Structure 1
Amino acid sequence: MANLWKGFSTYSVIGIANTLVHWQLFFVLRVEFDLSQALSNLLAFCVAASLSYYVNALYTFAVPPSIGRYLLFMLCLGTVSLAVGWLGDHWRLHGMITVVIFSLISLTCGFLLAKWLVFHGAES
C-alpha cells in the first residue's frame, strides 16, 4: 500500500502551485470575462495542468515528458474539469465550491491516473 502512494507528497506540493494558478485563472475568466464555470474551469485547468504535467514528469515520476502522455493526462482530467464546471453551472454553485470540488478530485484521481496510466511503464 505504501508503494501505491509513493511520490504523492511531491505530487501534492506541485499540486499546490497548480491549484493557485488554476483558481486565480478560473476567477479571472469567470468574473472579468463572464465565461461559464464549465469553460472557465476547463481553460484554467489546461493552463495550470500543462505546467504541472511537465514538472511531475521530471520530478515526481522521473520520466521524460511526451506528447502522448500529456494528451492522455489532459484528456482525462480535462473531461473531469469540464464536467465539474458544468455541474457548477447546472446547480448554480458558487465558483469557490466548484474549484474546491474539482481540486479535491484532481488531487487524488489525478495522482492515481498519472501513476497507473499516464506514467506507468515509462520509467527509464
Structure 2
Amino acid sequence: MAAFFKYLLVGVCNTATHAAVFTSMLAFSGDQAVSNLVAFTVALSFSFLANARFTFRVPLSLSRYLWFVAGMGSLSVSLGYLGDRLGWQPMVTVTLFSLLSLVLGFLFSRWVFREKRGWIFR
C-alpha cells in the first residue's frame, strides 16, 4: 500500500506541474491546445521519472517511458473523446480522468515498472 501513497503524492505534484506549465504557456502563446499538449508532456515525463525512482525504484529505460506515454496518453485522449461525444461538461471529464488515472494509472504503472520482464523490455 505504500507504493500507492507514493504514486498519489507523485500525482499531486504532477497535477501542480501540469497546471503551472499550462498557465505559463497560455500566458505566452494564448493557445490552449498547444499549452495543454506541452503541459501534459512535461507532467507525464515528470511522473515517469518520479515514479520510476521514488515509487517503484527501478532503472529508467526508453521502452518503459514509451509504454508509460502510450498508456497514459491513450487514457487521456480516450476520455476526452468520450467526453466530447457524450457532451460532458469539461469538469466532469477532468474529474473522471483524475479518478481513473489514479486507479488505472497505478495498476498500469505497476506493470510498466515491474522488474521481471519478458522480451519487450530488454
Whether these two folds match at TM > 0.5 is yes
Where does 1:1-124 land on structure 2 (aligned, <5 Å)?
Answer: 5-23=1-19, 25=22, 32-35=30-33, 40=36, 44-115=39-110, 117-121=111-115
Identical counterparts, % of pairs: 40
Q: Is there any run of 5+ residues in structure 2 with no aligned partner, and where?
A: 117-122
Asked whether the 8 Å contact 1:23–1:99 carries over to 2, the reply is no
Structure 2 CA distance for aligned equivalents of residues 23 and 85 of structure 1: 17
Change (3 A) 1:14 1:34: closer
Which structure has more RCO (C-alpha within 8 Å, separation ≥ 6)? Answer: 1
- Contact 2:58 2:115 survives alignment (8 Å): no
Distance 1:43 1:81 in 2: 14
Amino acid at match of 1:50: S
Cα deviations across residues 19-49 of structure 1 (Å, max 9, x unaligned)? 23335639x76xx4254xxxx4x65433211
Query: What is the CA-CA distance between 1:67 and the residue it aligns to?
Result: 0.7
Calculate the TM-score normalised by the size of structure 1: 0.75
SS in structure 2 opposite 1:62? coil
**C-alpha RMSD of the superposition:** 2.7
